[in-house]
Amino acid sequence: MMPRPVEKPLLDELQTLLGDRARAEDFELGLYGKDGSVLEGRPAVLCLPVNSEEVQRIVEICGKYERPFTARGSGTGLAGGAVPVGDPVVIATAKMNKIIEVDLDNRIAWVEPGVLNLDLSTQLKPLGFHFAPDPSSQQVCSIGGNVANNSGGPHCLAYGVTSAHVAAIEVVLPDGTVTVLGDLSAEPSGYDLRGLFIGSEGTMGVATKIAVRLTQNPPEVRTLLLDFADVRDGAAAVSAIIAQGLIPAALEMMDHRAIEVVEAFVNAGYPTEADAVLLVELDGLPGGVENGVDIVRRVAEAHHVGTVRLAADEAERALLWKGRKNAFGAVARIKPDYYLHDTVVPRGKLVEVLEKVYRIADVYNLIAINVFHAGDGNLHPILAYDSREPGVLERVHAAGRAIITASIEAGGVLSGEHGIGLEKRDYMGMLFSEHDMATQDLIREAFDPEGLANPLKVLPSGSRCSDSFGQHVPEGAWV
């Protein structure tokens, strides 16, 4: 369908409220039509609020004109969650970037949604604390986006994903009501509406203030790099480490192709001849950490490890992590574009699914590179390609569907941390029954009866606004 033109009264009201922070020029609309996925759409209006009151008024104006709205953080999401669908008003929270209050006694910080993940931990570091969720995009991703997608990261193996680190959220609901979900007590009463909102990908409203839990910096941190001549030995070592009762802070794996591109990019001393490497991080009290290092060494030796490299100091540790954190960008050394997937499989099925990923890439004439959270089975297959090749996107999408199917057939789930968005919306039936999805839609309707909040995301039927708007759905929205 053709895009629905923006009503002049709608734009006039938004510009009266925001001035030049309400924009409808082609350049801005094009920029905000994409996120970190391979999908794209086009908003009707871009709004850049600076406080909760402005977000509330924007939502009220959208309701008045029956215009959908989509909240957006830094735009680093990889599942199309922030891609505008239905010609919405995009509410970009990047200018809401204040750390409002830090309460060390209660280990809570109130922040605005546009605060960058790494900026928060950098500000907290001199105080001896940090924000534990650490997505690979933590240098640029926002706390609001972390809440929307229930983001994780390498250290979620020991510390958990975003929902474990958020106590309360101030939210503008789709009808313009402002409320606080959750509270700061140890045992909140009633239903966990905070937990429902986290991971809802903007379909239940817009977060405007977030109370995050602070994690004390550990007294001791040791980081090891293990290399293996066979990826099967590396995968077996992952399960064996955890079977010893040891839960590392992080347990990451990279395959041969990933090692090659990462080493060429960061020169961290990764062994390019290895079939796989494990990056293992242990933290806690010094005695426990040293015992953990001994356990990792013994397990690795029992699984034919090549070398065990223990970072000698913070500089070497940071260099090893620089390789892991920059792995996705390093793929550009092979091809200019990549499609990064996100599924979870049982640890015992890691090798089986990895081998299927390689075969799928071969079938569709693509390059597969694997960098993933091995400790919890969260796979991130990277399909490298050149978008200038005719028909390549069709092959990429077909390969992506085949990878998802292989993961589900192995007993896995659709997403570990990227969310569903548009990318996996039409795959929800692989995991959930019609009754399951209808129940989820009823919960969504309780928050958003008019279907204005981020329409056509997450659930195959979309929100109820899909039946009431003659809306524009971006090309490639169904993959």
Beta strand residue intervals within 250-388, DSSP E: 250-255, 276-284, 305-310, 337-340, 343-344, 367-373, 378-379, 381-385
Strands 45-47 and 89-92, how do they pair?
parallel
- Is 81 within a domain? yes
* 479 vs 25: CA distance, rounded Å: 28
What pLDDT shows up at residue 7? 83
Element (H, E) at 375: none
What pLDDT shows up at residue 5? 74
What pLDDT shows up at residue 6? 76
Number of domains in the chain: 4
**Domain coverage including residue 403:** 335-420
Query: DSSP class of residue 273?
Result: T
Q: Are residues 189 and 231 in the same domain?
A: no
Chain-centre distance for alpha carbon 426: 19
Q: Are residues 232 and 206 in the same domain?
A: no
CATH number of the domain to which 228 belongs: 3.30.70.2190
Q: Flag residues of the chain having pLDDT under 50.
A: 463-479
- Is 427 within a domain? no
Q: Are residues 316 and 391 in the same domain?
A: no
What pLDDT shows up at residue 2? 59
- Is 353 within a domain? yes
Q: Are residues 182 and 207 in the same domain?
A: yes
Beta strand residue intervals within 189-315, DSSP E: 206-213, 215-216, 220-228, 250-255, 276-284, 305-310
CATH number of the domain to which 150 belongs: 3.30.465.10
For residues 472, 473, 474, 479, the Cα torsion angle rounded to the nearest 10 degrees is -170
Q: Are residues 236 and 292 in the same domain?
A: yes
Q: Are residues 342 and 320 in the same domain?
A: no
Q: CA-based Rg of the chain, rounded to a whole angstrom?
A: 22
Of the candidates 163, 131, 368, 158, the one whose C-alpha atom is nearest the C-alpha of residue 280 is 158
Structure-token pair, residue 295: 């356990």
Q: Are residues 105 and 64 in the same domain?
A: no
CATH number of the domain to which 19 belongs: 3.30.43.10
What pLDDT shows up at residue 328? 85
Residue 127, φ and ψ in degrees, nearest 5: -90, -5
What pLDDT shows up at residue 474? 47
- Is 124 within a domain? yes
What pLDDT shows up at residue 3? 67
Cα dist. 253→42, 93, 258 in Å? 37, 34, 9
Structure-token pair, residue 446: 């309780």
CATH number of the domain to which 405 belongs: 3.30.70.2740
Burial 195-233 (b: 16+ CB within 10 A, else e): eebbbbbbbbbbbbbbbbbbbeebeeebbbbbbbeebbb
What pLDDT shows up at residue 38? 87
What pLDDT shows up at residue 306? 98
